[in-house]
Amino acid sequence: MSRTLKLTLAYDGTAYVGWQRQAEGVSIQGLLEEALARFDGTPVAVHGAGRTDAGVHALGQVASARVATVHDPAVIRRALNAMLPGDVRVLSVEEAPENFHARYSAAGKRYEYRIWQGPVQPPFVRTWSWHLPHQLDIEAMGRAARALEGTHDFSAFQSAGGGVVSAVRTVTRARVERRVLPPGVTGGGADADGGEAGGYLVSVQLEANGFLRHMVRAVVGTLVEIGGGRRSGASVPQLLESHDRGASGPTAPAHGLVLVRVDYPAAAR
């Protein structure tokens, strides 16, 4: 008599040890399992599509769970949001095929990494963007990012400990864009002393059929070296061929990263 649910979640990861349950600290998975168990009256296991690290955010994380409740999805969503803290929100609850699994059924994911480029980082973007005061060559970063598109062995952008058999992934989209935010988010009089205090958001977007451990953050660390002129954009193909994590850039900080959405084949939905 059990059903499978697909839950779409948004969270501000600042206060959490990440998606996955840990020995210490509060995880998103743990919060969700406790809330669902309270609603269902029995322990519930929740599987997430992406195991976001400590401090990483989500706008469209997907989780699956088998539950006994016969309540409507909209009722379950309201009940969960009433139990969860305000920085973790269930955006939607849907019925899913019995064998739907948020992680194994996923066909692809989209991550975005946000950089605040400018001398002063506005207070309201500080929790979800990496502050880089120096100028970046966004065109050069965009060209370098495109070289990642396609099917490659991404060992050069993988941290140890991921526990995967193969580092081959297919990146379907890699873009670097300047993004304009409404002044209500960034602050009004920001350019009072000749525009120097102004700035803008640089958005790095990666879509792939799967991601390795710290892959987006290693890509961003490398692209930032390219954007700052400390590394040639033309070096990306050799980097990929090197299979050497030591050859690529540093891992960018977690708080700039957000899991934007997870895609499933039509049959799994």
Catalytic center residues = 53
- Helices vs. strands in the chain: H and E counts, helices first: 6, 10
Size of the site for a second copy (CB under 8 A): 52
End-to-end Cα distance, the chain: 20
The region of 97-105, 145-153, 185-193, 234-242 touching a second copy under the rule CB under 8 A is 185-193
Rounded to an integer, what distance in angstroms lies between the CA atom of residue 176 and that of residue 173? Answer: 10
- Report the SS3 class of residue 156: helix
Rounded to an integer, what distance in angstroms lies between the CA atom of residue 207 and that of residue 125? Answer: 23
- 128 counts as binding a second copy under rule CB under 8 A: yes
Burial of 137 from C-beta contacts in 10 A (0-12 / 13-18 / 19+)? middle
- Residue 42 C-beta: closest distance to a second copy, Å: 24
11 or 154: whose CB is closer to a second copy?
11
In the region spanning residues 191 to 210, those forming contacts with a second copy, defined by CB under 8 A, are: 191-193, 196-197, 203
Per-residue binding letters, 24-63, with a second copy (x by CB under 8 A): ---------------------------------x-xx---
Residue recorded with tokens 């957000």: 258
- Report the SS3 class of residue 109: strand
Name the helix (H) or strand (E) containing 60. strand 57-67
Phi/psi at 46 (5° precision): -115, 130
Q: Are 41 and 253 in contact (CB under 8 A)?
A: no
- Residue 34 C-beta: closest distance to a second copy, Å: 18
Rounded to an integer, what distance in angstroms lies between the CA atom of residue 202 and that of residue 177? Answer: 6
- 150 counts as binding a second copy under rule CB under 8 A: no
The region of 43-51, 79-87, 219-227, 229-237 touching a second copy under the rule CB under 8 A is 79-87
- Residue 256 C-beta: closest distance to a second copy, Å: 12
- 122 counts as binding a second copy under rule CB under 8 A: yes
106 or 167: whose CB is closer to a second copy?
106
Positions touching a second copy (CB under 8 A) are 8, 10-12, 57, 59-60, 73-74, 77-78, 81, 86-94, 112, 114, 119-124, 126-128, 179, 181-193, 196-197, 203, 258, 260-261
